[in-house]
């Protein structure tokens, strides 16, 4: 029994999710497996560290990824379910693809058969063309960003470098150079503006080539040499591939974007159409909860000026009056449990207290709002026998300017009803 209790203590909960093992980790984020405590379904939670996002100057990239993921509802695109946040972290609750990256499958099995490879490619084109129809251009398509689910279907992920219509220049082209070297289209390297759809098609062609051959069409340790190969479209297509596969690869990996095959052309290709069953998008309106705190990247100010997030200032007389041992209100009025206050002192800064409290209450399943130096956390619980709402409000108070907060007021407000 002791071991079970020990395991329970080690469980980390985020809202309605129980976090499990780490699936992956990068410079500013880690991805953890999560189980919904109500449905039992598995999800992938991408945990982003706000301070690192600010440090790396990629907050706009993350906001773009969230905005883009919210738009896309297709069987071959990883679905965003909700965004939770604390003062220091952003939690993206995403669809979980149990099969991992397509890259891992190719690395372990080598090249795939044309039949299996074509099925993956058809799903890739389905997902990417859907994104294009929504005005979204991925710009970083590669095997590592193509996942596989339990049924063997692909899921396109990682829209951090995606572009929306508002990112186009006055010439109607994109100008930001991005993507992975081996998958990047030659027109992007030319740095004269490029069409997002055409460059994504090139990357899809590189993915198809790797799926069917087991190696990259353009590769070299020297980036300058690699880019020269890409500029020229300098690749050899194996003769042992079927003539249909050779033809579609050649038409996609055309270094001239003006003559490169289009999405419509790919879908009309005889090799592509073999056993092709188009996916049906799920474009019904879905209420995706996004915590406003996810987009808050502010730092609490302590330069002597009071910002909207600064703690309240009080003097010594107010402090004495608020002291529990000198509180005489109980003689004159009955206590209202909905206005119950818990006060405690702290030597930590308001910034540290906010971050710590928000992390804790977020993991407990509360939704957090912060305004004018006051933190409010609410949690709604629904069950067969009860419907309730619990809210906790915390106010940070300082004795004098530039000092650490020494008093926290916590108001407990519970309101439960039994059906």
Contacts of 157 (CB under 8 A, 6+ apart): 77, 78, 94, 97, 145, 146, 147
Cβ pair 148, 102 in contact under 8 A: yes
| Helix (H) / strand (E) containing 49 | strand 42-49
Instruction: Give how far Cα 45 sits from Cα of 12, 48, 55, 366, Å.
Output: 12, 10, 22, 17
Q: Determine whether the annotation assigns residue 46 to a binding site.
A: yes
What six digits make up the tokens of 361?
A: 């209450």
Cβ pair 213, 238 in contact under 8 A: yes
- CA–CA distance, 211 with 252 (Å, rounded to integer): 15
Contacts of 130 (CB under 8 A, 6+ apart): 72, 74, 76, 77, 279, 281
Contacts of 255 (CB under 8 A, 6+ apart): 186, 230, 231, 232, 233
Residue with tokens 């340790």: 221
- CA–CA distance, 318 with 201 (Å, rounded to integer): 67
- CA–CA distance, 201 with 205 (Å, rounded to integer): 6
Q: Which of 140, 158, 200, 254 is catalytic?
A: 140
Sequence-ordered alpha helix ranges (H) in 260-334: 263-267, 270-273, 316-322
Cβ pair 215, 106 in contact under 8 A: no
Closest CA to 365 of 310, 303, 289: 289
140 part of the active site:
yes
- CA–CA distance, 24 with 292 (Å, rounded to integer): 26
Cβ pair 271, 242 in contact under 8 A: yes
Dump the DSSP string for 148-159: E-TTS-EEE---
Could you give the residue numbers annotated as active site? 140
Binding residues for ATP: 46
Binding residues: 46
């Amino acid at each position: 029994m002791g071991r079970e209790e020990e395991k329970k203590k080690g469980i980390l909960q985020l809202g309605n999710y129980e976090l499990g093992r780490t699936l992956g980790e990068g410079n500013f984020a880690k991805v953890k497996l999560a189980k919904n405590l109500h449905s039992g379904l598995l999800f992938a939670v991408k945990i982003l560290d706000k301070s690192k996002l600010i440090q790396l100057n990629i907050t706009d990239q993350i906001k773009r990824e969230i905005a883009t993921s919210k738009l896309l509802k297709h069987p071959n695109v990883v679905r965003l379910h909700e965004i939770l946040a604390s003062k220091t972290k952003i939690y993206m609750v995403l669809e979980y693809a149990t099969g991992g990256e397509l890259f891992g499958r190719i690395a372990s099995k080598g090249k795939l058969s044309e039949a299996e490879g074509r099925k993956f490619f058809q799903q890739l084109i389905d997902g990417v063309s859907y994104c294009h129809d929504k005005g979204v251009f991925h710009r970083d398509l590669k095997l590592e960003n193509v996942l596989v689910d339990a049924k063997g279907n692909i899921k396109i992920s990682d829209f951090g470098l995606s572009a929306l219509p508002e990112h186009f220049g006055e010439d109607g082209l994109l100008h930001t150079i991005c993507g992975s070297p081996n998958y990047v289209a030659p027109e992007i390297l030319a740095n004269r503006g490029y069409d997002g759809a055409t460059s994504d098609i090139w990357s899809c062609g590189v993915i198809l080539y790797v799926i069917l051959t087991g190696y990259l069409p353009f590769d070299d340790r020297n980036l300058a040499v690699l880019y020269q190969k890409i500029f020229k479209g300098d690749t050899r297509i194996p003769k042992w591939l079927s003539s249909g596969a050779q033809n579609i690869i050649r038409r996609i990996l055309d270094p001239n974007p003006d003559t490169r095959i289009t999405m419509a052309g790919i879908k009309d290709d005889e090799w592509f159409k073999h056993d092709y069953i188009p996916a049906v998008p799920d474009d019904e309106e879905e209420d995706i909860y996004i915590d406003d705190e996810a987009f808050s990247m502010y730092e609490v100010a302590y330069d002597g000026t009071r910002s909207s997030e600064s703690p309240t200032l009080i003097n010594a007389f107010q402090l004495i009056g608020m002291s529990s041992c000198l509180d005489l209100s109980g003689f004159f009025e009955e206590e209202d449990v909905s206005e119950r206050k818990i006060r405690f002192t702290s030597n930590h800064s308001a910034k540290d207290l906010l971050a710590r409290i928000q992390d804790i209450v977020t993991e407990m399943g509360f939704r957090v709002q912060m305004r004018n130096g006051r933190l409010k956390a609410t949690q709604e619980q629904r069950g067969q026998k009860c419907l309730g709402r619990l809210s906790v409000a915390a106010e940070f108070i300082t004795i004098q300017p530039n000092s650490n907060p020494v008093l926290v007021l916590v108001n407990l407000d519970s309101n439960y009803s039994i059906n």
